[in-house]
Structure 1
Amino acid sequence: MLLVLVLLQVCLCCLQLGSTEVVMSFENTCPEFFFSNTPPSDALKPDSAARICQRYKNQYHYATLYDRNQRIPIYSAYLYEPGDGKRPNTWMVEPQLMGSSYPKEMKTEWTLMTMLNVSQDEIKKSQAVLQDYKNLTNYNRGHLNPNGHQPNPDSKASTFTLTNIVPQYEKLNGGQWNNYEQSVMATRTSDCAKTYVVVGVVPGNNYIAKGRVNKPSHIWSAACCVVDNNHRRSWAVIAENDKNAVSLVRLGELEEQLTGLYHKGTVSLFHSDCPRN
């Protein structure tokens, strides 16, 4: 009995040591990416959820709720701070999805395979890999947290992880969704001292990569704008992931739609101090 207790204590310690980047709670590790330190409600949480405080070059850049089974992010939460800089082109993965003994920062597949002797099959068990997104028809890699909303080269590079992308309808990604990301957001945030953003998806019934990676039915985005200590605004958009059209809606309206689409309880994307109208 004593030996069993000792082994249990060792296992718990290992789990705690590994819970730094793939975390038990966003509130305890990277709350700064959520308005009033409050993540969305658990109505968005998948059965096989992994909370990732996205870490690159020893710094957190945003937070992602990842679905291990569907191999897509359910949402990424970040601060809208657009800055100049080149678009990165190096894709990474999240080592700690494989286990707590792996590095705490995102790495390229090449680094894991050559430096740590990890096979691609081992990586594929826990997440999507670049091979999953090859030879797609009408769909491409769609960022939830886009690099254009980040302020510097490191934060932009951190968005190029496969835990931050989904199969997105190509015409939508390069069309009306891109217009929302680049133009509408810039206009609507002109008087915001700080803007909190959550971008997410609704898992669909179709897949890519021979059933490995889910193709979302909808993609959505919500923003909470802090003008000053006494004034806040919000807005949201939602798009079907097979059409080049984006609907601008109230935050409360998006939450109502998502409550119906997820079927897991009432969806709340921000702390109640963010207005729903």
Structure 2
Amino acid sequence: MLGLLLLQVLASCPWLGHSEVVTSFEDCSQYFYEATTPNDILRPSNAAWICQRYRNQYHYATLYDRDGRIPVYSAYIYQPGPGSNSPVWFVEPQLINQIYGKDMDTEASIEDEYSIKLEQIGQNQATNEDYNNLQNLEKCPLAPSGQKTGDDSKWATFTLTNTVPLNSRLHQEGWRDYMEKTMAQKTQGCDTTYVITGAVPGNTTIPNGRVNVPKNIWSAACCLLGNNHTRAWGAIADNERNHVEHVTLGQLENWLTNLYKGRMVTLFNNDCPRQ
């Protein structure tokens, strides 16, 4: 009874839920090559480290910007395969209050379970309502369902903490072509491919002012070959153009370094070749 009373009190005081989901990716480090995460240059001032969990299982990792309400990057293992896509979009209960459930869930389910309003859900993250009536922008998951296998893993990508507003044409054409065709070609012969896909925050928001519109979207991959060899590559696109630059990992890190005001960005363990 006391525990239930405490839960109700905390649910009625959303400002108590501002603490981080976690403070590192320790529980989902398997999605980073050699458990090495990108350096702290990419970390926003109000960050959340999310081990993306669905049906009591982790599926990938996301560094989330609670102020801009977009992910900075999502890290995962490239494993395309069969399965269905989710008919609904999820949000992260722990971004509302740290004592809430660890699995991603729907807004309606969270509202019902914890007797809270949509405004409380959206205080530190985007909601479905934010993405209504967008002009020339679409929801774009950083970890895409097409690079996951099985219903649960594919459904887990349909969370707004993994989603950015992307230029509609770029999303439907250039970026989709890279994610579906180019990645399939480049991963030929790889035993395991680690991927980090991210977004560089921009200076504008969607019309309601709640969600940042990224300046760029990018992706980096490091694949393991036989005999402990590795191969790496990257891609980056301007969110106002339908054009994807195919680059080396080193070139991508240099590009991001410039976008982050000259502060040196590293994405993978040093074993991944930069050239």
Q: Does TM, scored on the shorter chain, surpass 0.5?
A: yes
Alignment of 1:32-47 (within 5 A): 32-47=30-45
**TM-superposed deviation, 1:124:** 1.1
C-alpha separation between the residues in 2 aligned to 1:49 and 1:263? Answer: 19
C-alpha separation between the residues in 2 aligned to 1:261 and 1:62? Answer: 25
**TM-superposed deviation, 1:22:** 2.2
Q: SS state of the match for residue 59, structure 2?
A: strand
Q: Does 1:273 align with 2:275?
A: no
Q: 1:50 aligns to what?
A: 48
Alignment of 1:71-150 (within 5 A): 71-150=69-148
How many residue pairs end up in the alignment?
A: 259
**TM-superposed deviation, 1:263:** 2.3
Q: 2:4 aligns to what?
A: none
Q: 1:25 aligns to what?
A: 24
C-alpha separation between the residues in 2 aligned to 1:182 and 1:71? Answer: 26
RMSD over aligned CA atoms reads 1.6
CA distances 1:47-73 after superposition (whole Å, capped 9, x unpaired): 001000000011100000000000000
Q: Does the 8 A contact of 1:133 with 1:209 survive in 2?
A: no
Q: 1:257 aligns to what?
A: 255
Identical pairs, percent: 50
Unaligned runs of 5+ in 1: 1-17
One of 205, 208, 214 as aligned partner of 1:207: 205
C-alpha separation between the residues in 2 aligned to 1:111 and 1:33? Answer: 28
Q: Does 1:153 align with 2:151?
A: yes
1:24 counterpart letter in structure 2: T
C-alpha separation between the residues in 1 aligned to 2:198 and 2:77? Answer: 15
Q: 1:168 aligns to what?
A: 166
C-alpha separation between the residues in 2 aligned to 1:70 and 1:100? Answer: 20
Q: Does the 8 A contact of 1:62 with 1:76 survive in 2?
A: yes
Q: 2:10 aligns to what?
A: none
**TM-superposed deviation, 1:23:** 1.5
C-alpha separation between the residues in 1 aligned to 2:193 and 2:227? Answer: 13
Q: Does the 8 A contact of 2:203 with 2:213 survive in 1?
A: yes
Q: Does the 8 A contact of 1:44 with 1:264 survive in 2?
A: no
Q: Does the 8 A contact of 1:23 with 1:29 survive in 2?
A: no
**TM-superposed deviation, 1:262:** 1.4
Q: 1:198 aligns to what?
A: 196
CA distances 1:82-101 after superposition (whole Å, capped 9, x unpaired): 01122222100001011211
C-alpha separation between the residues in 2 aligned to 1:58 and 1:92? Answer: 15
C-alpha separation between the residues in 2 aligned to 1:209 and 1:77? Answer: 29
Unaligned runs of 5+ in 2: 1-16
C-alpha separation between the residues in 2 aligned to 1:209 and 1:165? Answer: 17
1:238 counterpart letter in structure 2: I
Report the TM-score when normalising by structure 1.
0.91
Structure 1 residue ranges, 4+ long, deviating more than 6 angstroms after superposition = none
**TM-superposed deviation, 1:264:** 6.7
2:173 counterpart letter in structure 1: G
C-alpha separation between the residues in 1 aligned to 2:187 and 2:156? Answer: 23
One of 192, 216, 235 as aligned partner of 1:237: 235
Q: SS state of the match for residue 30, structure 1?
A: helix
Report the TM-score when normalising by structure 2.
0.91
C-alpha separation between the residues in 2 aligned to 1:105 and 1:85? Answer: 20
C-alpha separation between the residues in 1 aligned to 2:130 and 2:207? Answer: 5
1:120 counterpart letter in structure 2: L
Q: 1:10 aligns to what?
A: none
1:114 counterpart letter in structure 2: D
Instruction: Classify 1:37/1:229 alpha carbon distance in 2 versus 1 (closer, same or farther; 3 Å).
Output: farther
C-alpha separation between the residues in 2 aligned to 1:264 and 1:46? Answer: 16
Q: Does the 8 A contact of 2:220 with 2:234 survive in 1?
A: yes
Q: Does the 8 A contact of 2:41 with 2:264 survive in 1?
A: yes
